[in-house]
Amino acid sequence: MKFAVALAAALLAVSTPAWAAPAKATKPAEPAPIAAPIPAHVALPTDVTPERYDIAIAPSAKDLTFAGHEAITITVKRPTARIVLNAADIAFQKVRLSCSPEAPRIALDKTLQTATFTFAKPIAPGRYTLAIDYTGVIYQQASGFFALDYAGGGGKQRALFTQFENSDARRFAPMWDEPGVKAVFALTIEAPADQMAVSNMPVAEEIVSSDHPTPVGRVTWKTTRFADTPKMSSYLLFLALGDFERIRRQVGKTDVGVVVRRGDTAKAQFALDAATELLPYYNDYFGTPYPLPKLDFIAGPGRSQFFAAMENWGAIYYFDYALLVDPKLTTEADKQDIYVDIAHEMAHQWFGDLVTMAWWDDLWLNEGFASWMENKATDHFHPEWKIWLQTKAGEQSAMRTDARSGAHPVITPIHDVFAAANAFDNITYQKGHAVIHMLETYVGEDVFRAGVRNYIAHHAYGNTVTNDLWREIDAVSPKKITGIAHDFTLQAGVPLITIASPGQGVRLTQSRFGADAASKAPRTWRTPVTVGNIGEPWRVVVSANEPAVAADAVTRNGPLLNAGQTGYFRSAYGPGLWDRIVPLFPKFNPEDQLGLIYDSRALGEAGYAPLTDFLALSRHAQDAADSVVLRTLASQLAGLDDLYNGQPGQKAFRAFARARLAPALARVGWDAKPGEPDNDALLRRTVLTTLGEFDDPAVVAEAKRRFTAWLAAPDSLTGTTRQIVLSIAASHADAATWDQLHALAEQATDPTDKTRFYRYLGISHDPALADRALALALTKEPPPTDAPELITGVAENFPDKAFDFAVAHRAAVDAMVEPTSRTSFFANLGGAARDPGTAAKLTAFAATVPPSARGEVAKALASISYRLEVISKRLPEVDAWLAAHPG
């Protein structure tokens, strides 16, 4: 997971088959937020297991309900009178077991999300069929079976999709909804014949019935039956229904397609091109050809606060913004993100779908690996994007979390669905991929790939734990990695490697980098450390608790720690070495320039070194040749400026920061140059929007001028420049500009553009306009998936205001967000605060959520505490340095 007329609602509300007849009469109530504690490690009994699900669905989109019939082939392993499986927001109509003439007693546990069928007599071991008739809810947020509305040729249109990770297949059909319980799925849907149905497998059969009467005339009904899936986990099942079109290309034995709303096929060509070049690459890398007959990429309008795309086997779902390219609206950064997202979800077809983690504890096996593989594949086809450099920003985000209280290990105990949902974070993704990249570099690319190929071959269609992967790599590698891997995946924290030069050589020592007292508790890692010099060979040392000596690894240039920046640790330089390194900044590779920028700020904010080291380094970094380095400098200056909000020294800091970005602005300007690299467009956006946040008078004035001109001539701005101008104009909006943006949001017909306009309404620096945006979020005007964007937009500048508002309107905001991601949504709003009072409110909020979800609040509290510590202890040091270094 990474985060066109559709079907007419009236047509799906009529002429349902006989088994679906009770649907309207038994509409389940809309689910309420779940806050009750859940016992440790909720897992179903293992005495009954499924082999096959035959599921038939008849949706009623108008009523947001559906009817289902299910026949589950089960194996009873031991005598039992009870069958327990998962079900949430399901109303049972009839339950029958093939060996029992009597219906069982049904008991539902809403907290555990289970249904228990108790029979009059124990069931003997054997193979049986469990038949269930039921009804369920179609949601308007992206979880379970859900509807997305959009503007079409005939007014508001509706398409249906599913999203089951991590634990929402149970909202679609009663089932054993755990990743370690794999089975075959055979899916059938009954719907109007003019709607296209899409699932994991190709269509096996379509049966068109006679016309049926509807409120808008007569319509032909169609039953679509899909081919059986391979044995797979329940969260990978997928269904979509709408007025879709599909473009396709044959790649070897695989039919590759992109499914879009009618009229959007031109926007799908980039995705189809990307997928068709990536598929042969993955077939070769994994050594196992993609096993399904087709691979579809399905686009849907709107967005989620939880995910952008989902790796359903053979039917990958994306929100429009993560898949489709519109020449007028899509930026160069968007295109790169789309390519990376496609590479990520395709990697899952092997790592996650073909081979699946046994339980959510090992979620990182899916997500960390796919995050690493997305970069490897993207860099193979687009080295000009320098994706390995760009991904360092995500790794730094993980390090910041990992160095504070509340951090969890990469492999972390998952006790229930709430804990599983909250494990989709930067530790699982970014730290996970950083650790894999470090291990691959340590053993070598070819050796690592050989281990991965064996892992896939030996565990295809099965479930694994992380040690299964380490064993396969150790079996082919002269350098063993299990010990190193355990150190980085079984404990939280960030190593700190310090290099000193006490004599003729250099000496490495290890400690723990921490941003607060709890995160500085001693720990040890076996850490591959690369020491290098300009123009000289690098040396790799595995550093643990004992100091490591590399006597010949220092020259007059001074040693460079973590050369190549593939190690997951912070680098610190002993007395005298830092002063020798800084003047050499222009000579280092871009990777190492990034390392120096990131580490100097992190060490300075945490008190390991003067924060002014970062400021001094930035004067060397401002003239860097690589655009990714300059973007990183801008983002790090912006991060420090954020700490200055409301502080008296912000004016002096902004003057310094604007001067550091002046060379980059002079280089890229406002307008694209013929033939410029894509990364220069990314640099332009970062520099101009950052200067806009710094209230640079010339930049803000030019953005407002261009915005006014664009209102008169909408085709005058496209792509990156359009986003730059709108972002700066929105953040500096007055009431009149806000009203203009509001009108544009209402009028927008492209779902992605509409989402962006609603978010722009939230990012104004004017607190009165922020209040208007929050009030708008509670109305019926924004699409249901866009309303949360208004609140998160406000949180960029007024996190306390956004959090207070969300808590004050808890029920309404809960309804906007997917059930299992509600806690993280609230925690993220408050986590950006600078007011100690918000920390107290977050603590009170934590008492209202499941215990297993409180880790998200703990991370938010640690973020607030860290921010306040830097403001009180480090910014005065910066103020003094700026006063002593005018200009």
**DSSP line for 560-626:** EETTTS-SSSEEEE-TTHHHHHGGGGGGS-HHHHHHHHHHHHHHHHHTSS-THHHHHHHHHHTT-S-
Q: CB under 8 Å to 696, separation ≥6 — which residues?
A: 658
* CA 237 centroid distance within chain: 19
Asked if 403 and 643 touch (Cβ cutoff 8 Å), the reply is no
Distance CA 333, CA 390 (A): 11
DSSP assignments along 673-687, one per residue: PTT--HHHHHHHHHH
Give DSSP secondary structure letters for 631-646: HHHHHHHHHHHHHTTT
Q: What is the spatial distance between Cα 760 and Cα 322, in angstroms, rounded to a whole number?
A: 19
> Of the candidates 776, 754, 751, 766, which has an alpha carbon nearest to the alpha carbon of residue 796?
766
Residue 345 catalytic?
yes
Catalytic residue from among 332, 345, 440, 605: 345
DSSP 243: S
CB 377 within 8 A of CB 278: yes
- Using only the alpha carbons of the chain, give its radius of gyration: 28
Cα 822 versus chain centre, distance: 15
Please name every residue paired with 27 in a beta bridge, in sequence order, or none if there are none.
none
Integer Cα distance of 520 and 170 in angstroms: 42
Query: Torsions phi, psi of 128, nearest 5?
Result: -140, 175
Name the percent of the chain in helix, strand, coil, to the closest 5: 45, 25, 30
Q: Are 144 and 172 contacting, i.e. CB atoms less than 8 angstroms apart? A: yes
Q: Is 396 helix (H, G, I), strand (E, B) or coil?
A: helix
φ/ψ (deg, to 5) at 50: -85, 145
Give 251-312 as a DSSP string. ETTEEEEEEEETT-GGGGHHHHHHHHHHHHHHHHHHSS---SSEEEEEEESS--SS-SEE--
Give the list of residues 6+ apart from residue 123 with CB closer than 8 angstroms, or none: 76, 79, 80, 81, 83, 97, 99, 100
Element (H, E) at 787: helix 787-797
Q: How many CB atoms lie within 10 A of CB 194?
A: 13
Q: Give the Cα separation of 439 and 446 in Å (integer).
A: 12
Cα-Cα end-to-end distance for the chain:
47
CA 871/CA 648 separation, integer angstroms: 11
12 vs 135, 155, 330, CA distance in Å? 15, 17, 34
- Which residues 6+ apart lie within 8 Å of 158 measured at CB? 6, 7, 8, 9, 61, 147, 148, 149, 242
Q: How far apart are alpha carbons 171 and 304 in whole angstroms?
A: 18
φ, ψ at 641 (rounded to 5°): -60, -35
Helix (H) or strand (E) run with residue 219 in it: strand 217-226
Write out the catalytic residue numbers: 345
